[in-house]
Structure 1
Amino acid sequence: MAALVGLRACFSALQLSSPGLLHSSYKLCAVPFTRRNFAAEAKAKKTYARDKPHVNIGTIGHVDHGKTTLTAAITKVLAEAGGARYKKYEDIDNAPEEKARGITINASHVEYTTANRHYAHTDCPGHADYVKLDGCILVVAATDGQMPQTREHLLLARQIGVEHVVVFVNKADAVEDKEMLELVELEIRELLTEFGYDGENTPVVIGSALCALENKQPDLGVNAVLKLLEIVDEYVPLPKRELEKPFLLPIEGVYSIPGRGTVVTGTLERGVIKKGDDCEFVGHNRAFKSVVTGIEMFHQSLDRAEAGDNLGALVRGLKREDIRRGMVMSKPGSIQPHQKVQAQVYVLSKEEGGRHKPFVSNFMPVMFSLTWDMACRVHLAGDKDMVMPGEDTSLTLTLRQPMILEKGQRFTLRDGNKTIGTGLVTDILTTTEEDQHNWG
C-alpha cells in the first residue's frame, strides 16, 4: 500500500484561537456551474480576483451522517458572518433521485472564502472528484460511529492521495453521554491510524450541523462550524500547483449556451489557460483542436485560469455532441492517449469493502481515472497464478480503447458497484496485435 501513496509527513494538530474572531473574516460566494452561468455577456460578469490561494476541499463519510447538512451549515454560518446568501440543504441535495431517496448521489459544489483562502467545496465527492481534493472533512455521526462507507471513503481518500483529513463528529446534540463521544473519537483515531493517517494528531471537532442551521446550542452549532473552518484553514497545507507544465483539463461536463457556443467544465489538473489559447481535445478515439474564447469560475470571468481552478471554458466552433466527459482539453500536441500500462495496484481486502475472492489473468474490471472510466483487461506477471484480496502487486492493464494515461497517474478499479483496487501507473506499454484481438 505504501508504494502507491508516497506519504508525506502529516501535520501536527494546531492550537486554535477563539472561533469568534472569525465572524468578520468569512464570506460566501457562488454555487454549482449551470448552463446559465455563461449566458450573460462578459461585460455583465464580475472579474474573479485571485487575491487568495485556491484550495479544493470535500465532505466524505457514511450515508445519512450529515455531509450535506454540514455543507449547508458552513454556507449559512459564513453567510451570516459576511452578509451573503447561503445554500440550503435542499438546494445542494437537488437531483430528483436524490430527493426521493433522501441521500446525495451526485457531487455538488459551493464556493467560499476565509480570511486567508478561497475554497471550492465538493459535497459527497464521486470517484473522479477525490483526485482533485487537496484535503477533506470526514463526517461521522456521534449516534453511529464508524460505518462501512466511513471506511470505504477514508480508504479511497488515502489510496488516491488525499493526505490531510479533518474529522467532524456530527449529531453530538443527540448524544447525552459524553463517554460515548469520547469513544467515537477514539474509534475514528484508530481507523485513521489503520489507513496510514496520523490518527493521534488529526484534528477532531465535535458538533452538530443541524444546530448550526437552526441557531441552537452555539457551542455545538455555529462555534463548532467556525472552529472546523479555522482548523481546515490551518491544517490542510496549500497545495503545490504545477503551473509550468502544459495545461491539462479533464472534462467533467459539456454545455451548449445559446448565442455563446459550447462550454466545457472541469478542474484544471496542471498548467495555465488564458483566453485566446489554442487547445486540443483528446480521448474516446477522437482528437480535434479549438480556441478558448472565454473562461469563468463560479460565475466570475477570468483572463487566466491556474492549476486547481474549477472552471468553465468557452470554446470556438464546436458542438456539444463533439465533446464527451472523460476527454481532456490540453495544449496542442502535449499529450497522447494510451491503451496499455504497467501499474502497481493495491487490491482491497474483504474487510476494506473489496473482493471476497482472488482474481486471475483476463479479469475485466473498470478503470476510473481523471474523469473517465473504461473497461480494462488484467494480465498477471508470468510467475503469478492469482491475486489475493489485500495484496499489493504489479499488473498489466489493457483498456478497451486508448485514454489519457501517464506515468504516476492514479486510478481506481471497480467491479460492479464495488471498489476493488487502487493503483499508480508505473510505465506506458506498447499495444500489440494480440491485445487488439483480445478485445475483438
Structure 2
Amino acid sequence: MVQNEMTRNGKVSVNVGTIGHIDHGKTTLTSALLRVQSEKGQAKYKSYESIAKGGIVRDKNKTVTVIASHVKYETAGRNYAHIDCPGHADYIKNMITGAAQMDGAVLLVSAADGPMPQTREHLLLARQVGVPHLVVFMNKCDLVEDAELLELVELDLRELLREYGYDGEKTPVIRGSAKQAHDDPTNPKAIECVEQLLDALDRWIPDPVRLIDKPFLMPIENVYSIAGRGTVVTGKIEQGMVRAGDSVEILGLKSATATDVITQVESFGEVLEVGNAGDNVGVLLRKMAHNEITKGQVLAKVGTLTPHHEFEAEVYVLKKEEGGRHTPFFDGYAPQFFFRTTNVTGSANVMGGVDMAMPGDGVQLKVTLKQPIAVADGDRFAIREGGRTVGSGVVTRVVD
C-alpha cells in the first residue's frame, strides 16, 4: 500500500519557501539546501538552472525567477516542501501564489545591500497571506569585510520584522554565503550556515495544524496537459483529503461550475493513496481538457462551495511610506484583488458613511468582482494597482 507523503516516513511535513529582493540569492540558497542535504541522502539535488527553469535568463550566472518553483528535502525530523518565490517586482503576483502555501518562510537579504524595496513588499505580503513565522538568512556575508556593517544590517532587519508584525527580537537570523555552501557541499565551514538554517527551521517554525476534517479544497496553481494521460492540476491542499475516484468541482472565474473525477494523486513524482491538507500535489482529472481550467480556480468537494461576486471586508490602506498610495481613493475604485492563487479586478465602495479612504486608514469596503471566485468569511487578500501593493484585507461577509 502506498502511504501518504505526510506520514510515510514518520516525519511531519512542512511547507516553507524563500522570499526576498531580486538578486539577493533566493534560488542559489534553494539549490544549496538541496545540494547539502543530497550529500546526506535527504534530498535529490537540482541545479540552479533546473530550479529557475522557465525564468528569464539574464546571463550565464543569473536567471530571474518568474514562477514559484517547488523542491523537497528532509531533516532528521521533518519533510520540507520548499517554494522558491520570484523576487522581481513584475512577478509579485506569482510570489503571492507561493507565499499563500507556506507554513513559514526564509526571508533572504543580501548583507552587501541590506533590505530593499521587494524585501519590504514580500514581508507585507507574507504577513497578509498568513505566513506565520519567518527565519532570516543574511546572504553574501563573504562579500562584507566590516563586522560592524553586518551588525547594522541585522539591526535593520530586526526593526523591519517588528514593523511588519513579526518577532524582531527572537526571530533567528543566520549569516552565511549560499554560493559557498553550494559550491563546496562537503566543507563543514562552508555549509555551516545551511546547517544552522535547517536547524532554525526545525526549531522556530511550529508543526502546522492541518484541517483534515474539513471538506476538500485546493486552489489551482498550475494546469498541465500530459500526453497520453490527460490534464493535471497542481496546488497545495488547503483543507480536507482527496483520493483517486473522488468527484470534485472546478469553480470560480467562469460562469459555470464544472465537475470531474480524480484518477490519480501525486506528490513530487510519487503516487499517493490519499492527499491530505498541507500536501503539494498534482491531481490527474478524467475528462477536462487543460484549456477548460485556469490558474486561480479551485478544486472542491462537490456541493461545498459557491463562487461569489460581492463581499464586505475590513481593509487597511497602505501609507506612502509603506509603498502604498500617495492619495486617497473614492467609491468606484477598481484595483486587483489577490486571493490564494487568483487575482481579479473589482470595484470598491467605502462603507460606514465615508466616501473616501486615505492612505493609513482602516476602512470597511463593499467589493464587487468582475468574475466570481470561491470566497468565504475570514479569507485574507491583498489589493494591488500599478505594480504595487496598496492595501490588505479580510472578508467579513459574503453578500451574494
> Shorter-chain TM-score: what band?
over 0.9
1:159: Cα distance to partner? 2.1
Aligned with residue 73 of structure 2, among 89, 109, 112: 112
Question: How much has 1:171 moved relative to structure 2?
Answer: 0.5
Residues 188-236 of structure 1: per-residue CA shift (max 9 Å, x gap): 1111111111101111111110110122895763011011001101110
Asked if the contact 1:209/1:225 (under 8 Å) is kept, the reply is yes
Q: d(CA) in 1 for partners of 2:184 and 2:232? A: 40
Given that 1:207 and 1:220 are in contact with CA atoms closer than 8 Å, whether structure 2 keeps it comes out as no
Write the letter of the residue equivalent to 2:376: E
State the alpha-carbon separation in 1 of the partners of residues 125 and 224 from structure 2. Answer: 30
8 Å contact from structure 2 (residues 219, 341) kept in 1:
yes
Which residue is 1:401 aligned to?
A: 371
Alignment of 1:30-429 (within 5 A): 48=5, 49=8, 51-82=10-41, 85-95=44-54, 97-99=56-58, 102-124=63-85, 126-215=95-184, 221-283=190-252, 284-429=254-399
Identity of counterpart residues, as a percentage?
48
| Displacement after TM superposition at 1:81 (Å) | 2.0
Asked if the contact 1:349–1:356 (Cα under 8 Å) also holds between the matched residues in 2, the reply is yes
Distance apart, 1:390 and its partner CA: 1.7
Task: Go from structure 1 to structure 2 and tell me whether the alpha carbon gap of 1:83 and 1:132 turns closer, same or farther (over 3 Å shift).
Answer: closer
Give CA-to-partner distance per residue, 1:113-140, whole Å, 9 cap, x none.
Answer: 1111111101115112211110000111
Rounded to whole Å, the distance in 1 between the matches of 2:187 and 2:155 is 24
CA RMSD of aligned residues (A): 2.0
Indicate how the Cα distance of structure 1 residues 222 and 339 shifts in structure 2: closer, same or farther if over 3 A, else same: same
What is the Cα deviation at residue 47 of structure 1? 7.8
Cα-to-partner distance string for 1:344-389 (whole Å, 9 max, x where unaligned): 1111111111111111110100111021111100101152121111
Q: Please report the TM-score for the alignment, with normalisation by the length of structure 1.
A: 0.84
SS at match of 2:376: coil
Unaligned runs of 5+ in 2: 87-94
Shift of 1:416: 2.2
SS of 1:281's equivalent in the other structure is: strand
Counterpart contact for 2:260–2:286, Cα < 8 Å: yes
Partner amino acid for 2:24?
H
Query: Aligned pair in 2 of structure 1 residues 340, 109: CA closer, same or farther (>3 Å)?
Result: same
Q: What is the number of equivalent residue pairs in this alignment? A: 387
Specify whether residues 216 and 295 from structure 1 end up closer, same or farther in structure 2 by C-alpha distance, changes over 3 A only.
closer
Structure having the higher Rg = 1
Q: Using the TM superposition, give the Cα deviation of residue 96 of structure 1 relative to its aligned residue in structure 2, in angstroms.
A: 5.0
1: distance between equivalents of 2:277 and 2:40?
29
Q: CA deviation at 1:102?
A: 3.5
Contact 1:130 1:162 in 2 (8 A): yes
CA pair 47-409 structure 1, distance change in 2 beyond 3 A: closer
Alpha-carbon offset, residue 83 of structure 1: 7.3
Residue type at the aligned position of 1:159: Q
Q: Kindly state the Cα deviation for residue 50 of structure 1 after the two structures are TM-superposed.
A: 5.6
- 8 Å Cα contact 2:110-2:139 kept in structure 1: yes
Query: Residue 91 of structure 2 aligns with which residue?
Result: none
Letter matched to residue 352 of structure 1: E
Query: After superposition, what is the alpha-carbon deviation per residue over 1:153-193, rounded to whole angstroms, capped at 9, x for unaligned?
Result: 11111122212110111111111111111111111111111
Change in Cα spacing, 1:205 to 1:158, as seen in structure 2 (3 Å) is same
The structure 1 segments of at least 4 consecutive aligned residues displaced by more than 4 Å after TM superposition are 45-48, 98-101, 216-220
Task: Answer whether contact 2:69 2:85 (CA < 8 A) is retained.
Answer: yes
The answer as to whether partners of 1:207 and 1:219 remain within 8 angstroms in 2 is no
Q: Deviations over 1:276-312 (max 9, x none)?
A: 1111111122212111111000000001000111101
- Structure 2 counterpart of 1:39: none
Q: Cα offset for 1:105?
A: 1.9
What SS does the corresponding residue of 1:389 show, helix, strand or coil?
Answer: coil
Higher mean C-alpha deviation, range 49-58 or range 353-362: 49-58
Deviations 1:46-81 (A, max 9, x none): 984363221110111111111111111101111112
Preserved contact between residue 42 and residue 74 of structure 2 (Cα < 8 Å): no
Decide which moves more: 388-397 or 95-104: 95-104
1:350–1:389 contact (8 Å) kept in structure 2: yes
Farther off after superposition, 399-408 or 154-163 = 154-163
